[in-house]
Structure 1
Amino acid sequence: MLSKFLMDLYDSLILYKMEHILKNYSNRYEITLNIAQKAKINLYDEINIKTSKKFKPIIQVVIDTKLPK
């Protein structure tokens, strides 16, 4: 039961960070494209390295994206 709670909390944090990123960038379309392109690159890098990560590439990019000040 605890793992379900932690998964829901983690999902909420990812959604919150994505909303925060979209809210703080002036061009939502551009940041969405940048995140998608980085995720695609990460996916192909993962396939070439043959390692499995904990997170999907799109989630990893959202986590790694720096927020503007």
Structure 2
Amino acid sequence: MIRDKVTLKIPRPLYDRLKTVIEGSGFSSVNEFVVYVLRDLMSTGLEDRDDRSRDETEAIRRRLKNLGYF
């Protein structure tokens, strides 16, 4: 049986911050917002590209890690 969705666990403080961020934004849930953000990130890609330096890519990775994504 193939599942359409999986559970992604994030730290409670991050969840609470995201819940505050989305208030009045039009997103109906933290989950909806996180899916939107991750899709956006994946559409731009995180791999090294000619227009993004290695340092910029590492800075993005550090920010995502600090947000609890890695």
- TM-score bracket, normalised by the shorter chain, equals 0.3 to 0.5
Using CA pairs below 8 Å that are at least 6 residues apart, which structure has the higher relative contact order? 1
Give TM-score scaled by structure 1 length. 0.39
Give TM-score scaled by structure 2 length. 0.39
